[in-house]
Amino acid sequence: MSVPIGIQTRAQDVVTATVLRNRLLVTTALAPLVLAVLPVLIPEPALAACTVTGTGTIGALNSGDVATCTGLGNTDHINATGGSNVTVNVGDGTATSLMPGAGIPAVVFDGTSNSNVTVNNQATVSNDSSAVLLSNGSNSNTVTIAAGALAEATGLAEAAIVIDNSNGNVVNIRGSAAGTGGGTIGLRLIGTSAGNVVTVYQGGSITGGHTGVEWLAGGNTLINAGRSPPASVWESSALRCRYRH
Report how far residue 115's alpha carbon sits from residue 7's, in angstroms, rounded to the nearest whole number.
Answer: 87
pLDDT at position 231 is: 43
- 161 with 186: CB under 8 angstroms? yes
Cite the DSSP H helix spans in 42-142.
none
pLDDT at position 88 is: 98
Report how far residue 141's alpha carbon sits from residue 192's, in angstroms, rounded to the nearest whole number.
Answer: 16
Distance spanning both ends of the chain, measured CA to CA: 114
Report how far residue 134's alpha carbon sits from residue 109's, in angstroms, rounded to the nearest whole number.
Answer: 5
What's the whole-number average pLDDT of the chain?
83
pLDDT at position 23 is: 54
Q: What is the pLDDT along the chain (245 residues), one digit of tens a residue?
A: 554 554 454 445 544 555 445 554 444 444 454 444 444 455 555 689 999 999 999 999 999 999 999 999 999 999 999 999 999 999 999 999 999 988 899 999 999 999 999 999 999 999 999 999 999 999 999 999 999 999 999 999 999 999 999 999 999 999 999 999 889 999 999 999 999 999 999 999 999 999 899 989 989 999 988 754 454 443 333 344 444 33
Q: Secondary structure of the chain: what % helix, strand, coil (to 5)? A: 15, 40, 45
